[in-house]
Chain A
Amino acid sequence: DAGITQSPRYKITETGRQVTLMCHQTWSHSYMFWYRQDLGHGLRLIYYSAAADITDKGEVPDGYVVSRSKTENFPLTLESATRSQTSVYFCASTQGANEQFFGPGTRLTVL
């Protein structure tokens, strides 16, 4: 299917476990982004990538790892999940200084 997809849509995990959230886009957009959305904080940028093998830290990168071996995929890994990482995670993509297209989100709960 065309567009930007995220998986899983819902995830419950335990403190200390590793979790990977997947993001896939079919437009061959250069830029991809990971955000987290929390009540009171709005949407905050975790990491972004300008192209395959190029990634940069955003506003709140601590505790997260990203990779971009292929243009269309941008997985986000929580190496040792903490309760403070309970959030809704959004992936987005864009071709340049244009609108970003957002995925449907992944709701992550860390117990």
Chain B
Amino acid sequence: GAGVSQSPRYKVAKRGQDVALRCDPISGHVSLFWYQQALGQGPEFLTYFQNEAQLDKSGLPSDRFFAERPEGSVSTLKIQRTQQEDSAVYLCASSLAFGGGYEQYFGPGTRLTVT
């Protein structure tokens, strides 16, 4: 079956531009996660959804970051007024349920470069 897909795969934005990153999770997966991965580092948690409810957004680095999943499937991560420090790979993952050791299935990521 289809895995997690993300688009675009690469995005170059000028400083100050707004960007929107899309994630299509595996069909039927309840939980959806966003991570930020800087070069040479492990993924850092940003936010988490269970269906359409955003249950944890403690990892969002600033109020310029906003995520939504209005119908409990596709999710969008929006970054307003991008800054150079936002340059990273943004990973989306989904899992069948939450908690209790469910593994996450990751998409290929969107590499954002802010110039």
Chain B binds chain A: no
- Which residues of B are at the interface with A, using a C-beta cutoff of 8 A? none
